[in-house]
Structure 1
Amino acid sequence: MDPRYNTQDVVRCALCRDAVASLYCNVCHTHLCKDCVEKHSSNKSKVHNLVPLEQVLSTDFESKKDVLRRDLHELEKDIFPKHQESAARATKSPGAESFLPARPLLDVPLLITDIPTTGYAGGLHSVSCLSDEEIWTSGFNNIMKLYNLKGEELKSIQIKSGNVPSDIAVTRSGGLVYADRWNSSINLVSGTQIQTLITLEGWKLRGLCSTATGDLLVIMKSDVDYDSDVDRGYELDDYKPTKVVRYSGSTEKQTIQLDDQGKPLFSSGGNKYLSENRNSDICVSDPYAGAVVVVSAAGKLRFRYTGPPSTPGESFGSFGITTDSQANILTADWVNDRIHIIDQNGHFLRFIRNCGLQSPWGLCVDSQDYLFVAEHTGNVKKLQYYQ
């Protein structure tokens, strides 16, 4: 066995999911065992190019040597000591869950399985883990679907209004909540019943998430007529404020909108997603601003992440966002087909970009820190990024 790879780095066949992969299709970005080659090649819509997996891994390893050296230098000098220090403290903030023991990240993340979805002709945008074996998905239509990891559809729920949901989330009790952007309502799915929890006036709903305490965090923007604002010469940021609101049931408990200087924390345009971290920070993906904005539970700005310091000025299309057991933050860079991993203090750790990602949009992690990526193209990828 090549000493650069240990048993934890074994790559499984993407079709049968059991056998060790020995081949790789450069066209489909798929790992295959010998027994599954014929099945994979039966799809005549593409001209497949199969090469030994060892060749792909070896080439990939050599091409990344210089990058890895630079990354390691940064880690030794700055990022890794800070990450170790924060993990060693392992303190429990008020209202936050304790951290699990520190886990090292894989140098090369692994694709565990591809989960195909159907019925999302307009594209897939959200995924939320119901359990380690089942995921809820939603896209640009009025249907939300529950799948197992084999890609079998277990349940299908139609949006009550017939509109498209802007985001979905699973609550601590296992219910599914969704935000209806067009009628400004937040709804709970329990069994086959749909209950409207909150209806707002004058606001368009963007993203939502369930918190450790059972609250809901919802990000929304003011519903002001764009053309009227332009005609009257007003600055849109002044008339389309965006805010995060915390709800307990249907009761508004907190509003987060401005920083200490009275300036907007979030931009006024585009899709937005959010996630609560284990230290109770609220992490907002703001693609219109090209940033991840992180505030404390009290609503105080902690930092803005606009991409790794090694690539200043590079485009950053942050969409879906999630957090894991180490309080690391993961966000989908839709523009560059990759995932950014940053720590709870905003330090860049590394990319996930070697798993054939295509237009990654929605993200969630399960209880074992496996990452699920909803691709706009319609598939959900399950990835391993910790050892």
Structure 2
Amino acid sequence: MDPRTWAQDVLRCRLCETPSPQMYCDICNLYLCKACVEEHLSDRPNEHSVIPFLNHLFPNLCRIHSSKECELFCEQCEKPICVKCASSKEHSGHGYVGMVKALDSQKAVLNRDLQELEKFVLPKYHEIAKIVNNFPVEKDIKENIRKSTAAIDKHGDELHREIDNIIKQMKSDLDKMSQNIEVLKKHKNNLTSTISEITKSIADLKKLLKCSYTDSTRVFAYKSRNAEFKRLPPKLTVSLAEFSPQVIQPEQLHKQFGSLSAFSIGIEEHGYTLELPSAESSPVHKPINDEPRIITVIKTDYGAKNKLYSVSCLNNKEIWTHGHDKILRLYSMYGTLFKSIKTKPGNRPQDIAVTGEGDLAYTAYWDNTVNIVKNTQTQIAIRLQGWKPHGICSTSSGDLLVAMDSVDDTETKVVRYTDFTEKQTIQFNDKGQPLFSTSNRYYKHISENRNLDICVSDRDARAVVVVNQAGNLRFTYTGYPSATKESFRPVGITTDSHGQILIADRENNRIHILDQDGKFLRYIDDCGLDGPYGLCVDTRNNLFVSESDTGKVKKIGYMLTNCEQFMPQRK
């Protein structure tokens, strides 16, 4: 509505023209009466957000108590609430922080994404674009083809009519090669489009960082696309056609006529690497809390007789677990069992991971498969030949990384799958030596770091092996010297949004924390841990630890909370 004429205008429902509509669709920017809401939601209900009209005019009003302003942010529910909500049963026992501080914290996350895009991702794309722009353009390719054609004609004119068919065939080959021009065009267009999207994301983030306290809804609605942009495009190589004439020998006419090298475009999936700063050098890095604390203890159906192994966050409110039996279980933060999935005979889960699409992936060691659970339906996604899978994780780009042993227990490797198709194998260092132990006594666990490093917990080797995205060894961690009775034997492994690596040390009842370059930062050993095994981290850097013998999952706050970031630290 034009503010200069609002006194003369009457707001009406967009669908039925009823005056003074009570509702508003925040996605479509449409005013609606209550009677028309159902019709508006009928086509794609998940793509709309219908709110009371007053909440549209005053976005900071509580959606439950419409007369109250949201002055607090519930850290456990991760949403703004009013004072009346805070005293309700729904938020009993939850931790709160003021909206101003919560907004500052969320803007720090936005600022981190902004700096990552501006300082690292966008410059890398410009660097790639500079390389691609130096490739031959269409006129160069056509000129190359024209010259090659002329060379073939000149050489052919000197030969007998019997080789005319050979000349014709080679010309035809050259014509087919020109089709590659479209491939090169498409790659350049895709690159230009992605750079445009990154630039727009940067502009959007800058706008969000300028949002005022009264307009915080847009800030909390922000969805990061950094993981999508960090998946760099394939690297192209271009080889132009070149005709090489030969002296004609009658008995070997075709061979002596000459050869034509193919004009091709090679695609190398991991030809480019993206270097990101370490957690310590990040300008918005949250310091580790000097006193890690247990936030929640989730009691599960596992225990000493049915040991609990892996844990994986579906979101910030639900976790998947698996243990010694054949049942996959989904729990709430309060220990409520939401879902149980019983696997097929001989298909007992070995490790689990939540995919980018929210499905559950698990490895089945005994029948050599990788499986996907969609809702309650399980399907085999990958069936291996000669290999047995164990550790699995989902990457920021949507790939699956699977650690596996050969059937004869003589080899171990990590394989990357894109759309369930093998794309990369990581097995040896640059000297041809195995990166991982080949013993099959213990299974290996795996996680991808923020900088796209691949971290493998190798219990048999008593080490954590970290390689970069291309599979080249970066470092090996064998524990930090300390006065402990048991040697370092890592099990579960995970990483957080600051590139820190967290490792479960079951025998010593502690968690090791490293930076992305392998530097030891500290232990978590004062939270009453009892046989920590599986690890995962939610989007707010809360650590979930599964205890194999007790069957408990402990949610631990090891980073400073939103509120503590802005408070003086105790000496």
TM-score of the alignment, normalized to the shorter chain, above 0.5: yes
Question: Where in structure 2 are the equivalents of 1:103-118 lying within 5 Å?
Answer: 103-118=286-301
The aligned residue for residue 172 of structure 1 is 356
The aligned residue for residue 419 of structure 2 is 249
The aligned residue for residue 217 of structure 1 is 401
Once the two structures are TM-superposed, the CA of residue 250 in structure 1 deviates from its matched residue by: 2.1
The aligned residue for residue 66 of structure 1 is none
From the CA coordinates, give the structure whose radius of gyration is larger: 2
1:321 aligns with 2:523: no
Question: Where in structure 2 are the equivalents of 1:306-345 lying within 5 Å?
Answer: 306-309=478-481, 315-345=487-517
Once the two structures are TM-superposed, the CA of residue 160 in structure 1 deviates from its matched residue by: 2.5
Once the two structures are TM-superposed, the CA of residue 249 in structure 1 deviates from its matched residue by: 1.8
The aligned residue for residue 40 of structure 1 is none
Partners in 2 of 1:288 and 1:319 — Cα distance?
A: 10
RCO higher in 1 or 2 (8 Å CA, sep ≥ 6)?
Answer: 1
1:152 to 333, 336, 339: 336
Once the two structures are TM-superposed, the CA of residue 17 in structure 1 deviates from its matched residue by: 8.0
1:266 to 436, 447, 450: 436
Question: Where in structure 2 are the equivalents of 1:196-211 lying within 5 Å?
Answer: 196-211=380-395
Once the two structures are TM-superposed, the CA of residue 164 in structure 1 deviates from its matched residue by: 2.1
Greater displacement, 373-382 / 309-318 = 309-318
- Deviations along 1:247-283, one digit per CA (max 9) or x if unpaired, are 0122100000000111100001221100000100000
2:545 to 363, 367, 373: 373
Partners in 2 of 1:214 and 1:122 — Cα distance?
A: 32
The aligned residue for residue 232 of structure 1 is none
Once the two structures are TM-superposed, the CA of residue 18 in structure 1 deviates from its matched residue by: 2.4
The aligned residue for residue 135 of structure 1 is 319
Partners in 2 of 1:353 and 1:323 — Cα distance?
A: 18
Once the two structures are TM-superposed, the CA of residue 19 in structure 1 deviates from its matched residue by: 8.8
Once the two structures are TM-superposed, the CA of residue 336 in structure 1 deviates from its matched residue by: 0.2
Partners in 1 of 2:485 and 2:307 — Cα distance?
A: 29
**Partner amino acid, structure 2, of 1:264:** P
The aligned residue for residue 26 of structure 1 is none
Question: Where in structure 2 are the equivalents of 1:344-383 lying within 5 Å?
Answer: 344-377=516-549, 378-383=551-556
C-alpha contact (below 8 Å) 1:179/1:206 kept by paired residues: yes
TM-score by length of 1: 0.71
Partners in 2 of 1:355 and 1:249 — Cα distance?
A: 40
Partners in 1 of 2:345 and 2:307 — Cα distance?
A: 20
**Partner amino acid, structure 1, of 2:287:** P
CA change 1:102–1:149 in 2 (3 A) is same
**Partner amino acid, structure 2, of 1:18:** G
C-alpha contact (below 8 Å) 1:128/1:169 kept by paired residues: yes
**Partner amino acid, structure 2, of 1:163:** N
2:410 to 213, 237, 240: 240
Partners in 2 of 1:314 and 1:153 — Cα distance?
A: 35
The aligned residue for residue 93 of structure 2 is 18
- Deviations along 1:13-64, one digit per CA (max 9) or x if unpaired, are xxx98299xxxxxxxxxxxxxxxxxxxxxxxxxxxxxxxxxxxxxxxxxxxx
Partners in 2 of 1:320 and 1:334 — Cα distance?
A: 9
* Structure having the larger proportion of residues in helix: 2
Partners in 1 of 2:486 and 2:448 — Cα distance?
A: 27
C-alpha contact (below 8 Å) 1:17/1:113 kept by paired residues: no
SS of 1:183's partner is coil
CA change 1:312–1:260 in 2 (3 A) is farther
Partners in 2 of 1:338 and 1:325 — Cα distance?
A: 21
SS of 1:278's partner is coil
* Structure having the larger proportion of residues in strand: 1
SS of 2:488's partner is coil
Partners in 1 of 2:548 and 2:362 — Cα distance?
A: 19
Q: Percent identity at matched positions? A: 51
TM-score by length of 2: 0.49
- Deviations along 1:173-199, one digit per CA (max 9) or x if unpaired, are 100000001001000000111111000
Extract unaligned runs of 5+ from structure 2.
Answer: 1-74, 76-90, 96-115, 125-229, 232-273, 561-571
Greater displacement, 375-384 / 99-108 = 99-108
1:305 aligns with 2:489: no
CA change 1:262–1:141 in 2 (3 A) is same
Once the two structures are TM-superposed, the CA of residue 317 in structure 1 deviates from its matched residue by: 1.4
Once the two structures are TM-superposed, the CA of residue 203 in structure 1 deviates from its matched residue by: 1.1
Once the two structures are TM-superposed, the CA of residue 91 in structure 1 deviates from its matched residue by: 3.7
Partners in 1 of 2:484 and 2:297 — Cα distance?
A: 33
Q: How many residues align?
A: 292
Partners in 2 of 1:213 and 1:109 — Cα distance?
A: 31
1:385 aligns with 2:558: yes
Partners in 1 of 2:460 and 2:415 — Cα distance?
A: 20
Partners in 2 of 1:265 and 1:375 — Cα distance?
A: 29
CA change 1:374–1:90 in 2 (3 A) is farther
Question: Where in structure 2 are the equivalents of 1:17-56 lying within 5 Å?
Answer: 18=93
SS of 1:201's partner is coil
Greater displacement, 93-102 / 286-295 = 93-102
CA change 1:328–1:139 in 2 (3 A) is same
Partners in 2 of 1:265 and 1:313 — Cα distance?
A: 27
The aligned residue for residue 292 of structure 1 is 464
Once the two structures are TM-superposed, the CA of residue 202 in structure 1 deviates from its matched residue by: 1.4
1:182 aligns with 2:355: no
**Partner amino acid, structure 2, of 1:114:** V
Once the two structures are TM-superposed, the CA of residue 113 in structure 1 deviates from its matched residue by: 1.0
Partners in 2 of 1:361 and 1:19 — Cα distance?
A: 27
C-alpha contact (below 8 Å) 2:486/2:508 kept by paired residues: no
Partners in 1 of 2:379 and 2:486 — Cα distance?
A: 43
Question: Where in structure 2 are the equivalents of 1:72-83 lying within 5 Å?
Answer: none
C-alpha contact (below 8 Å) 1:160/1:194 kept by paired residues: no
Partners in 2 of 1:144 and 1:163 — Cα distance?
A: 12
C-alpha contact (below 8 Å) 2:120/2:275 kept by paired residues: no
CA change 1:195–1:374 in 2 (3 A) is same
Extract unaligned runs of 5+ from structure 1.
Answer: 1-7, 9-15, 21-86, 225-238
**Partner amino acid, structure 2, of 1:169:** A
What CA RMSD, in Å, does the superposition of the two structures yield over aligned residues? 2.5
Partners in 1 of 2:397 and 2:357 — Cα distance?
A: 11
Partners in 1 of 2:471 and 2:275 — Cα distance?
A: 18
The aligned residue for residue 41 of structure 1 is none
Once the two structures are TM-superposed, the CA of residue 314 in structure 1 deviates from its matched residue by: 6.2
C-alpha contact (below 8 Å) 1:294/1:302 kept by paired residues: yes
Partners in 1 of 2:345 and 2:372 — Cα distance?
A: 13
